[in-house]
Homo-oligomer: A and B are copies of this chain.
Amino acid sequence: MAKEKKSALKEKKGSSVSEITNLSSIESIKEKRRSKINTDTLVSSILNKDITALSRAITLVESKNPAHLEKANTIIKACLPHANKSIRIGITGVPGVGKSTFIETFGKHLTAKGKRIAVLAIDPSSSLTKGSILGDKTRMEDLVKDDNAFIRPSASGDSLGGVARKTRETIILCEAAGFDVIIIETVGVGQSETTVHSMVDFFLLLKLAGAGDELQGIKRGIIEMADAIAINKADGDNLKHAKLAKIEFNRALHLYPEKTSNWQPKVMVCSALKNEGIHAIWELILEYVTMTSKNNYFNEKRHEQNKFWLIQTIEEQLKSDFFNRSDIKKELENQLYLIETNQTTPFAAADYLLGLKTK
């Protein structure tokens, strides 16, 4: 570099630029070129179904380094025209229902048919523990070794919204890498099902046949979101219970208003452990895709999801920008106290706090 600076080529009267500018702009151009080569290479590798490149790109998406995120955005943008081609399946169910076994059996069933599948996860606890429900890959021993399967643990993040964004962007990368089916797993806790539901085409709820009180413990919102309920561990002595549970759930599902997709949610029984009923679930999903593609609901839903995430992201940011201001935090406490002591109303307090916005 120093050599180049002293080169006779630079000895032009009147038009020399400052050394520092010269140096830093050369560096900057070089850096950009290097970065461009890197991201271009990554993108073409991803499009060539290179799993290592895919993993590296996902790592950039999950990074907290702004330079990495810039690269990630470039890669995602380049991948976008090649995305949107998979079937996205959300799978939820309480711990113990056999999600890992189900995904392993279901995944192997698909790869045996020549499908390439990616398994992602949204784990609401991972933002706290920095762990992941898929961290223990040993639970999917066979699938992990399968060349046509790609398993990626849940991104960690400070908020469910942050994790959701990373997962949504990872879906784009996986689709660009030619995966036919993307499975997104989540645990039946809090808001995570709603989050998964808003990024998948088909939402599958795994249940167990219990002691007759199947309906008691269910969060109604989740049943309402389900496109199918699969009663797992329907084998041996359990089979009878499972069939009874199927009747109960079918009855419960009929209480809900018809879906805009015109799809009537189905209840299935299966045993992931014994590989029974798994093919029927895949057939059902294909039936759903065929039907909703015909009536155009499939595409409409994806458009709605895109719009949802756009508005959602903006609204979350507007709120956090406001409520995380230290002056607002302090004054919010004061105003809450004034409300509780009947000195002001919630509306007058809101007006007051909003008045601080431009200060």
Which chain B residue has the least Cβ–Cβ distance from A317? B354
Contact bitstring A202-236, B, C-beta under 8 A = 1, else 0: 00000000000001100010001000000000000
- On whether the beta carbons of A349 and B310 are closer than 8 Å, the reply is yes
Residues in B neighbouring A303, C-beta threshold 8 A: 340
In chain A between 122 and 175, which residues have their CB closer than 8 angstroms to a CB of chain B? 165, 168-169, 172
A306–B340 contact, CB under 8 A?
Answer: yes
The verdict on A307 contacting B319 (CB below 8 Å), with A80-B345, A314-B354, A348-B73 known, is no
Contacts of A83 in B (CB 8 A): 342
Partner of A350, one of B73, B215, B317, B343: B317
One of B215, B313, B354 near A347 (C-beta < 8 A): B313
How many residues of chain A have a CB within 8 Å of chain B? 45
A84, A310, A318: which has the most chain B beta carbons within 10 Å?
A310
Contact check, B318 vs A318: say whether CB atoms are below 8 A apart: yes
* Cross-interface CB contact of A344 among B80, B346, B349, cutoff 8 Å: B80
Q: Which of A83, A172, A315 has the most CB of B within 10 A?
A: A315
Question: Per DSSP, are chain A's interface residues mostly helix, strand or loop, or mixed?
Answer: helix
Closest CB of chain B to A350's CB: distance in Å?
4
The CA-CA distance from A216 to B251 in the complex, in Å, is 12
Contact of A310 among B168, B307, B308, B335 (CB under 8 A): B335
List the B side residues contacting A344 at CB < 8 Å.
Answer: 77, 80
Rounded to whole angstroms, the CA-CA distance of A52 and B319 in the bound complex is 42
Is A200 interfacial (CB 8 A cutoff)? Answer: no
* A291 at the B interface (CB under 8 A): no
Contact in complex: A77, B313 (CB < 8 Å): no
A353 within 8 A of B: yes
Q: Is the CB of B354 within 8 A of A81?
A: no
CA distance A83 to B344 in the complex (A): 12
A336 at the interface (CB under 8 A from B): yes
Distance in angstroms between the alpha carbons of A221 and B256 in the assembled complex = 11
> B residues within 8 A CB of A336?
306-307, 310
Interface members, chain A 269-297 (any B CB < 8 Å): none
Q: Is A339 an interface residue (CB 8 A)?
A: yes
Given contacts A73-B348, A168-B345, 7 further A-B contacts (CB under 8 A): A77-B348, A172-B345, A215-B255, A216-B255, A220-B224, A310-B346, A313-B350
* A76 interface contact, C-beta 8 A: yes
Residues of B with C-beta under 8 A to A165: 347
Looking at the assembled complex, report how far the CB atom of A11 sits from the nearest CB atom of chain B, in whole angstroms. 43
Query: Cβ of A309 < 8 Å from any Cβ of B?
Result: yes
A309 contact set on B, CB distance < 8 A: 346-347, 350
In whole angstroms, what is the CA distance A224 to B339 when docked?
28
A322: interface (CB < 8 Å): yes
Which residues of the partner chain B approach A343 to less than 8 Å between Cβ atoms?
77, 80
CA distance A35 to B7 in the complex (A): 83
Given contact pairs A342-B80, A343-B80, A315 touches B319 in the complex (Cβ within 8 A): yes
- The reply to whether A350 and B310 form a contact with Cβ atoms under 8 Å apart is yes
Q: Which of B220, B313, B318, B340 contacts A319 (CB 8 A)?
A: B318
Enumerate the 9 nearest inter-chain pairs by beta-carbon distance, A residue then B residue, closest first: A313-B350, A309-B346, A310-B346, A80-B342, A318-B318, A314-B350, A306-B339, A306-B346, A165-B347
Residues of B within 8 A of A342 (CB): 80-81, 83-84
**A347 pairs with B306, CB closer than 8 A:** no
Complex interface: chain B residues within 8 A of A255 (CB): 215-216, 220
